[in-house]
Chain A
Amino acid sequence: MMGLFDRFRGKTNVESQDVTSTPPRADETAADTGHVDSAASAAAPKGLLARLRQGLRRTSQLLNTDIRDLFKQDGRLVDDDFVDELFAILVRTDMGTGPSAQIRDQIRSEFRGRVVRMDDVLHSVKSQLKQLMAQDEAPLNLATSGPTIIMVVGVNGSGKTTSIAKLAHFLKAQGKGVVVAAADTFRAAAVEQLTVWAERIGVPIVTGSAGSDPASVAHRAVAQTLESGADICIIDTAGRLQTQANLMNQLAKIRRVITKQVPEAPHEVLLVLDATAGQNGISQAKGFSEAAGCTGIILAKLDGTAKGGVVIPIRQQFHLPVKYVGLGEKAEDLALFEGGRFVDALLDDEAPEGHF
């Protein structure tokens, strides 16, 4: 009882900070005298300010400005409408109906019949997700001796080549010797694309002619890495849909070829996932994990409005950690993934673009 009352006290404090020179509101008095009809007053706000707020709330109800809005009235009864709204917010992050429903149900049982403040629910949801997305800091599994071989895979147009360029730039900046291999011999001018990048960031590149066997390119790249004593070799592969069995087998072959030269390689197989991808991302993670044994994800194109929430069910189901995020088109637009900040950005609306 006391706790609830305190919460309302807290609420009035916040409000008086928010709007300094306004006359006392009806529901404020209600809160002071007791909490019995607080739910009713929250549901049907009276007074000029409240109405103004209501109006403002509607206008700002654009996409992505939701969770704060939902709780803006600082205390709402947790009813079906409430959890449905929460569900909508969660679904919009692309995390999928499964995890969204799970969270919704938990919130429903945890807060049923209570009038809650946004911080409570937000905190609860976020801490859950953060726990899920928590991972150790070390981003890449580097070889203890000899070169580290990194394979990069993904569907068409997810941003593999650009991500490789960024990763190469990132690692080079750390003083590592990097070799890139253009094993996408299928798509027109993919080799040229990586060549341009390699020149820009100043790393050696191994290429094959269009239509040649990507495994042979990978082989030569690893050979060159061993020969030149470079630290890291990053292998680009052609984009493929996870349903194309033959192409997926080709990935397994590339893997085998690498393993022949360096037994413990590839040290990392990174799946490049488009942040705009929806539930198909799960199928991608599954397909590529099975064929190529993914060890991590690069979440590309996170600088747009897409939130990339699909990595949450991926993490749940396949324990695939996100290692890096792509935040733009330039070589330096790559950042280490941070679970906490990602979750904050996922559910916060104020976060400006490029919230990392």
Chain B
Amino acid sequence: MWFGSRLPIYKQSSYRLRCWLRSVRQRSQGILNRPRMLGPDGKSLRFVSLVVAMFESLQDGLKAAFKSLRGKGKLTESNMRDGLRLVETSLLEADVSYSVVKDFMGEVTEKAMGEKVLLALDPSQQLVGIVHQQLIELLGPVDASLHLKKDTTVLMLCGLQGSGKTTTCGKLSRLLLDSNVRPMLVAADLQRPAAIEQLHVLGQQLNVPVYSEKGAQDPVRVCQDAVRKAKDEGIRVVILDTAGRLAIDQELMQQLQRIDLRVQPDQVYLVVDGMTGQDAVNSAKAFNEALELDGVIMTKLDGDARGGALLSVKKVTGVPIKYIGTGEHLDSLEPFRPEGMAGRILGHGDVVALVDEVQRVQTAEEQAALEAKMRAGEFTLDDFRDQLLKMAKPGLMQKMMGLMPGMGDMQKLLQDEDAEGSMRQTVGIIDSMTPAERRHPKIIDPSRRMRIARGAGVEPQLVNQLIKQYEMMAPLMQSMAGKGMGDRMRAVQELQRSGMLDPGSRGPRVKKSTGKRLTAKERAKMKKQREKELRRKKRSEKGKN
């Protein structure tokens, strides 16, 4: 993805970027209305068309809602009411608690009414802007510091069962290790079977000490002993992993209060599952009342949950949101950014995180070198291949899709499409070329083409397709070099409009495993069984009625 080297500009003003994206979408209505490039039968995506397709799928969620406002010139009270209602539904669907949504909508309405005079060209942008800004305000301010003291700092994690406390312990340790602080983990979950072992395994993986007491009954004692030991040994950070508990479980909540009282942790964090629904307010309130929280960590945000619970928790507790968990691996704990989360809750995707991800894959120097090549018109198939290889890292596409605006559609698409596989195939074709062919694809004649196709194990026309696409892209690359992301996207869209990336040229079909080959007899047997099953089902359904 050639997003170029000027990305930091957009990082600083992600909101403006979003506004811009929106306007691009408006301008590209033509593209949106024409038949989709990717039918459900389409097996693969070409690279540039992928980028375009992502922007095509921006129609999800709220975006569709604001369409109804577009082109009305001025925001009136009544058409704003419709828009606000749609925002409300969107928030509720993102699992923001009802009462929080009500309050929030009140604030937004107030703000929007005050700014009525300012409304000029595009009322929908104004309203989105206000909603977005208000969300950011509500989710902020940012405070990702763990507030470590000179001597021993005690962190305590608490939350419901299965919210991800123990895993978060491991992730926090990794974060601390990165800044050269060796924490000690304390197994204070004496409730769940093997919770202590789990923490020990994590400790081994990270090479950090884990404190636990065999056969202990009282977590308060364990925590006290652990903190004492840590202070004696001069350990800088102690992380207490408490047992999951229900907020209405008086006994266990009192136990938590006892730990709080006796151990006096410096920071108490509530760990909240990103998929939580309306109940988030209840439990967050109860935990905050019992403990006076210092921060919130939200987990499991690598899926497709929109994480509206975060808004509820923030509203109820008022404490800063510290980190978000974005994966199963121990390095996937990120400092919280309200901008990204606001977009996610609204269903906009998170462009900044996407850009970050792209930058993680591609270092600045690589980016600069590529840029220079593009400018000089020397973007060869080899460079193309390198880019593809970077993108073909397992899971990366999925992750990027998740961050893209309109992610719902794309993720669905990707489930049918083997985009990564198609990239590997393209790489295979390029690998089968000689260096000369890669530099000057023009020299590829039919016999060379046959050789390449055989080498890569694909049909000859796929080689043709790749070359054709490369030829279309090469001048584009040159024109895009050195421009901002905005110009680039426009260029891609130009390309789209000119029909060069026509939907027909869908790229190679990727062979998928067909599984075990069955004999005719076996197939017949299976069919019989299926039909039997179907009949049975039908019968039982009939029986129900």
Contact = CB atoms under 8 A, between A and B. Distances in A.
* Bind each other: yes
Interface of A: 63-64, 88, 91-94, 96-97, 136, 155-159, 162, 186-190, 192-193, 195-197, 200, 210, 241-246, 256, 263, 274-281, 283-284, 301, 303-307, 310, 329, 353
A158 B244 CA distance: 12
Nearest to B305: A280
B193 A196 contact: yes
Interface residues of B, number: 60
Which of B191, B278, B304, B394 gathers most chain A CB within 10 Å?
B278
Contact of B162 (A157, A188, A306, A353): A157
27 contacts: A91-B98, A92-B97, A155-B300, A156-B167, A156-B300, A157-B162, A186-B328, A190-B194, A193-B195, A196-B193, A210-B201, A241-B304, A242-B303, A243-B302, A276-B160, A276-B277, A278-B309, A279-B93, A279-B95, A279-B306, A280-B303, A281-B275, A283-B304, A283-B305, A301-B162, A306-B277, A306-B282
Contact of B279 (A243, A276, A280, A329): A276
Contacts of A195: 194
Interface string B291-326: 000000001101111101100000000000000000
A190 B194 CA distance: 7
B163 interface: yes
A164 to B, nearest CB: 12
B197 interface: yes
A94 B193 contact: no
Interface in B381-401: 394-395, 398
B404 interface: no
B276 interface: yes
Contacts of B93: 96-97, 279
B201 A188 contact: yes
Contacts of B92: 91, 96-97
A136 B304 CA distance: 33
B23 interface: no
Contacts of B275: 155, 274, 277-278, 280-281, 284
B161 interface: yes
Contacts of A187: 198
B4 interface: no
B273 A244 contact: no
Interface in B526-545: 529, 544
Contacts of B202: 188
A243 B246 contact: no
B328 A94 contact: no
A278 B395 contact: no
B415 interface: yes
B31 to A, nearest CB: 27
B65 to A, nearest CB: 13
B398 A156 contact: no
A13 to B, nearest CB: 34
Given A136-B544, A243-B302, A329-B191, A279 B94 contact: yes
